[in-house]
């Protein structure tokens, strides 16, 4: 019976009484079956020798365990000494006779391992050397690590190593749809345990891990690469139609760029850019636009600009095909910001620009690229630089020069200016010479002297830049024999040289403080005559009243035109002396040109005729692109007429009112720049206008402003804005400087004051200066220091310039040439036009109070809109639910746009008014004056 009282069979021996026992029990042949180390578990019982009297000396309490390896069963042929001893086994438990009484044996269990085994099988043997022993069971086994799956790799069953401390390295195989990351390995210990897992497998693309295996991604999901990640949902605008997708193809009309990761949503080309605007500045244009409404779901939006030049009926052609290279700043393609400046366009030409938007998938789509079109017409511009000036011939006293026409004449070249001076006397003086063609003979030079020559072209739009300096030395003098005639000539030369020198001194004194001797046409005061050299001389305008007979003056300056060459076509207005008409003038060998004709009405007095023609005499002396040009006069037949160039857009004040809010600030500054350039020219000639006002500026079809109205009596009679002063004179009070009103002290500085008022008129689109204040109140408030406030939307820099023009002390006011410089800087750096906060003047701080219209008298939205001359939007505001001013003050520009106010100028006007109102309503921080 075993310990559980189950009957068992045993092998037993108990020859404890007899000495020298050697009893063997051997197993049958046991095949090894791949085991390299075997374990033998022996269960046995052993009787305590002490419990048996009389056995001392012969009784043993151990037995020996042996093995023998063989490739086959050899049975009884093995001799005892061939067995290899595994161990002597003693019992942990032994029993005595008492135990037998309860027939219950105490079993011992001993396990021994042996290895490595190498033969196909083996035998075990037990040697009894005199113990009382019973073998109840012998279990022979080996160990293995049982197959497992770990880290997505399968490790199959493996037999343990040969000895007790060896580990067996086992490589795992990745499960289906998985791939090795690092070779998966584990070690099987001698005890049959898996140890130290190394490396792993990951699910392949299109599969994800689920309970130690890799399962396919469902439809609508994908996994692009092998890895630990799970399947992801297909990105926006893409799909997968089968399981185990590694990518999601794009829906139709959507694309993925080459660089886009599979996880990126599919995208499409952008829509066209919106709200393109252009501002033309001579022969360059700034184009700006807003981002496309649909960017196609991408952020790599880019723009390119196609330039087409269009003329007449022939199809527009690419700008690249024109000889002069059109330049794009910052570049023509690959623009990331929504603007570009295009330079070097031809003057007076039509251009069409396509602003194309694209992104990285545009080329994948069959649809054409989306674009917006901006059409522009360039303005007048001076010609480009004259090239390749060279000497053709040189003698002792003369040099013949030749040069090429400028690349971009920008109009018909009227003449070339040749400027030259002695190289070593650069700072003293220079001379000029004019030539109608591309060569000139410069004579009257000193022998053996180095001269510097420069050439520039002139068109009706003004002068181009001077060419590079060309240095030429005249031939060496042959010694002269001095006779009386020579000495006489030398004396005459010296006298005229002295006269010339004094003229230069006078001329320099009048010159604009900031400039050097060499200036552009506006500042230049050299006297010249076509085709031959002259000495420097200051050139002044000559008052026709200094002539005894002003009619003589008119014929000295202006050309007489035969009435038969004039065709009057329509009346366009009326002047003080008669109708103003539009007509055409035909000159021999030339095409008809449009002209304006000022007529002298029948029944005039001699004085009226004189005054009428005086204007022509004055105008005839002027030659500047920003001063109205006289074509001629008709005095030999009736009606007597003054013929001038025709200005398609009429006078500036009505032109601005017709186009209220339609121009960019840069365009308005362009207009002002032209007027200032014209006034620089006039003031340099010593001409004081006395009635500079927007109504006396004319505008042509290219938006070039020209100063006009040079009559002598007009300030007194002609001008509806002129009023009698206490001193009896008739003066346009709102435009006139205080010293001119009070003391009749007219000067170029008082013209500058008027120019400031013109600036205000321009920036407010033809608003009446000082609104409905009476002339008396205007004089009074100006005297008290009140100055016109910045018009709505007027940049601070411009209002500051106005305030400078309105300095009480006329010496503190800027000169016209300085005004041109300031405006040019603003045009070049338009960001300076963005601020609406008044800056301090550079000259002197404006003492003037800043004032603004007071809206407190406005009772309703309609009242307010009328006040700011935006009454046309009453219905828009009502429809948008803006019924009270309380609603209006909280509006922003977006709200105004949404109401349907599309013109930028109107948006700005309304917005500035809202801001002003807000300031007045909220904190009363803007001082106001009732006007």
**Residues contributing to the site for ligand ACK (CB under 6 A):** 572-573, 575, 580, 596, 628, 644, 646-647, 650-651, 654, 698
Single out the residue of 92, 95, 93, 126 nearest to residue 11, CA to CA. Answer: 126
Rg (CA), the chain: 55
Looking at beta carbons only, is 623 or 777 nearer to ligand ACK?
623
Respond yes or no: is residue 684 known to be catalytic.
Answer: no
Residues 46, 94: contact at Cβ < 8 Å?
A: yes
Q: Smallest distance from the beta carbon of 696 to ligand ACK, in angstroms? A: 9
- Rounded CA-CA distance 176/156 in Å is 15
Looking at beta carbons only, is 255 or 612 nearer to ligand ACK?
612
From the number of C-beta atoms within 10 Å of its C-beta (0-12, 13-18, 19+), residue 193 rates as middle
Q: Are strands 339-343 and 641-645 parallel, antiparallel or unpaired?
A: unpaired
Looking at beta carbons only, is 390 or 559 nearer to ligand ACK?
559
Residues 330, 343: contact at Cβ < 8 Å?
A: no
Q: Smallest distance from the beta carbon of 626 to ligand ACK, in angstroms? A: 14
Q: Smallest distance from the beta carbon of 691 to ligand ACK, in angstroms? A: 13
Neighbour tally for 857: CB within 10 Å: 10
Residues 697, 691: contact at Cβ < 8 Å?
A: no
Q: Smallest distance from the beta carbon of 870 to ligand ACK, in angstroms? A: 23
Residues 595, 604: contact at Cβ < 8 Å?
A: no
Looking at beta carbons only, is 269 or 575 nearer to ligand ACK?
575
- Rounded CA-CA distance 416/291 in Å is 46
Neighbour tally for 319: CB within 10 Å: 24
Single out the residue of 404, 331, 352, 414 nearest to residue 380, CA to CA. Answer: 414
Q: Smallest distance from the beta carbon of 651 to ligand ACK, in angstroms? A: 3
- Rounded CA-CA distance 208/569 in Å is 88
Catalytic residue among 417, 522, 653, 691: 691
Altogether, the residues listed in the chain come to a count of: 931
DSSP 227: B
Residues 687, 628: contact at Cβ < 8 Å?
A: no
- Rounded CA-CA distance 576/456 in Å is 41
Q: Give the three-state DSSP class for 481.
A: coil
Looking at beta carbons only, is 698 or 899 nearer to ligand ACK?
698
Q: Smallest distance from the beta carbon of 493 to ligand ACK, in angstroms? A: 46
Strand partners, 60: 131
Looking at beta carbons only, is 128 or 709 nearer to ligand ACK?
709
- Rounded CA-CA distance 672/438 in Å is 34
Q: Give the three-state DSSP class for 695.
A: helix
Buried-exposed string 63-80: b where 16+ CB fall within 10 A, e elsewhere: bbbbbbebeeeeeeeeee
Sign (positive/negative) of CA torsion 533, 539, 544, 546? Answer: negative
Looking at beta carbons only, is 578 or 670 nearer to ligand ACK?
578
Single out the residue of 735, 747, 718, 715 nearest to residue 779, CA to CA. Answer: 735
Q: Give the three-state DSSP class for 863.
A: helix
Residues 910, 868: contact at Cβ < 8 Å?
A: yes
Looking at beta carbons only, is 134 or 698 nearer to ligand ACK?
698
Looking at beta carbons only, is 431 or 644 nearer to ligand ACK?
644
Q: In what order do the strands lie in the sheet with 194-203?
A: 168-171, 178-188, 194-203
Helices (H), ranges, 648-729: 652-658, 665-684
Looking at beta carbons only, is 279 or 696 nearer to ligand ACK?
696
Among all residues, which ones are annotated catalytic?
A: 691
């Amino acid at each position: 019976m075993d310990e559980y009282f189950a009957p068992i069979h045993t092998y037993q021996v108990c020859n404890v009484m007899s000495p020298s026992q050697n009893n063997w029990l051997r197993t049958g042949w046991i095949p090894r079956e791949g085991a390299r180390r075997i374990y033998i578990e022996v269960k046995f019982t052993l009787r305590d020798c002490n419990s048996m009297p009389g056995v001392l000396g012969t009784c043993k309490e151990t037995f020996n365990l042996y093995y023998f390896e063989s490739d086959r069963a050899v049975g009884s042929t093995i001799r005892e000494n061939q067995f290899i001893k595994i161990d002597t086994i003693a019992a942990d438990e032994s029993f005595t006779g008492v135990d037998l009484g309860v027939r219950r044996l105490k079993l011992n269990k001993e396990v021994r391992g042996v290895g490595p085994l190498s033969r196909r099988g083996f035998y075990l043997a037990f040697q009894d050397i005199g113990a009382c022993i019973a073998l109840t069971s012998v279990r022979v086994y080996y160990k293995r690590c049982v197959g497992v799956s770990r880290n997505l790799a399968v490790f199959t069953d493996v037999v343990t190593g040969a000895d007790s401390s060896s580990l067996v390295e086992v490589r795992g195989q990745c499960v289906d749809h998985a791939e090795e990351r690092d070779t998966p390995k584990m070690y099987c210990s001698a005890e049959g345990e898996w140890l130290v897992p190394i490396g792993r497998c990951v699910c392949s693309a299109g599969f994800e891990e689920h309970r130690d295996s890799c399962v396919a991604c469902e439809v609508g999901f994908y996994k692009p690469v092998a890895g630990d990640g799970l399947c992801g949902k297909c990105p926006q605008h893409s799909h997968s139609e089968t399981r185990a997708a590694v990518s999601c193809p794009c829906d139709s009309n959507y694309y993925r760029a080459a660089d886009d990761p599979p996880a990126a949503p599919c995208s499409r080309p952008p829509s066209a850019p919106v709200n393109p605007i252009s501002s033309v500045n001579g022969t360059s244009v700034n184009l700006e636009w807003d981002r496309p409404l649909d960017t196609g779901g991408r952020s790599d939006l880019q723009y390119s600009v196609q330039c087409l030049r269009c003329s007449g009926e022939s199809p527009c052609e690419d700008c690249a095909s024109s000889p002069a290279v059109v330049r794009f700043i910052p570049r023509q393609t690959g623009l990331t910001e929504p603007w570009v400046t295009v330079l070097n366009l031809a003057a007076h030409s039509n251009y069409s620009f396509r602003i194309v938007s694209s992104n990285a998938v545009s080329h994948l789509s069959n649809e054409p690229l989306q674009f917006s079109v901006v059409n522009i017409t360039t303005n007048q511009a001076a010609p480009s630089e004259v090239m390749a000036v060279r000497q053709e011939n040189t003698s002792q006293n003369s040099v013949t020069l030749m040069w090429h026409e400028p690349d971009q004449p920008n109009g018909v070249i009227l003449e070339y200016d040749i400027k030259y001076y002695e190289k070593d006397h650069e700072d003293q003086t220079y001379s000029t010479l004019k030539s109608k063609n591309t060569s000139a003979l410069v004579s009257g030079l000193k022998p053996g002297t180095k001269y510097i020559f420069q050439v520039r072209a002139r068109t009706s739009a003004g002068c181009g830049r001077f060419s590079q300096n060309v240095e030429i030395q005249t031939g060496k003098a042959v010694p002269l024999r001095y006779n009386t005639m020579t000495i006489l000539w030398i004396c005459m030369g010296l006298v005229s040289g002295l006269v010339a020198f004094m003229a230069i001194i006078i001329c320099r004194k009048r010159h604009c403080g900031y400039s050097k001797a060499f200036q552009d046409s506006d500042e230049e005061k050299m006297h010249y005559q076509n085709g031959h050299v002259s000495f420097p001389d200051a050139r002044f305008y000559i008052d026709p009243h200094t002539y005894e007979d002003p009619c003589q003056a008119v014929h000295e300056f202006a050309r007489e035109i035969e009435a038969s060459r004039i065709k009057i076509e329509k009346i366009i207005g009326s002047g003080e002396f008669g109708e103003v008409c539009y007509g055409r003038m035909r000159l021999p060998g030339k095409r008809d040109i449009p002209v304006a004709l000022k007529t002298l009405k029948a029944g005039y007095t001699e004085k009226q005729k004189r005054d009428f023609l005086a204007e022509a005499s004055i105008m005839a002396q002027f030659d500047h692109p920003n001063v109205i040009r006289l074509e001629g006069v008709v005095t030999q037949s009736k009606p007597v007429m003054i013929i001038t160039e025709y200005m398609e857009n009429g006078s500036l004040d009505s032109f601005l009112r017709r186009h209220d809010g339609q121009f960019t600030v840069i365009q308005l500054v362009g207009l002002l720049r032209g007027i200032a350039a014209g006034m620089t020219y006039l003031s340099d000639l010593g001409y004081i206008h006395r009635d500079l006002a927007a109504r006396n500026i004319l505008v042509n079809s290219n938006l070039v402003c020209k100063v006009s109205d040079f009559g002598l009596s007009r300030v007194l009679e002609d001008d509806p804005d002129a009023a009698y002063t206490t001193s009896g004179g008739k003066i346009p009070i709102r435009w006139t400087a205080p010293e001119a009103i009070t003391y009749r002290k007219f000067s170029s500085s008082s013209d500058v004051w008027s120019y400031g008022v013109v600036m205000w008129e321009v920036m407010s689109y033809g608003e009446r200066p000082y609104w409905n204040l009476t002339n008396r109140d205007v004089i009074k408030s100006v005297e008290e220091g009140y100055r016109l406030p910045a018009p709505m939307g007027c940049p601070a820099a411009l209002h500051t310039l106005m305030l400078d023009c309105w300095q009480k002390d006329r010496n503190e006011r800027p000169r016209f040439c300085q005004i041109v410089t300031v405006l040019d800087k603003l045009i070049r750096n338009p960001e300076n036009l963005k601020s609406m906060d008044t800056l301090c003047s550079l000259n002197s701080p404006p003492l003037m109070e800043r004032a603004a219209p007071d809206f407190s008298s406005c009772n309703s939205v309609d009242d307010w809109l009328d006040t700011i001359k935006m009454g046309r939007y009453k219905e828009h505001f009502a429809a948008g639910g803006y019924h009270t001013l309380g609603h209006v003050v909280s509006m922003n520009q977006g709200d105004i746009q949404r109401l349907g106010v599309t013109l930028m100028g109107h948006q700005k006007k309304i917005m500035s008014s809202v801001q002003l109102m807000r300031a007045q309503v909220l904190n009363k921080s803007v001082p106001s004056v009732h006007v």
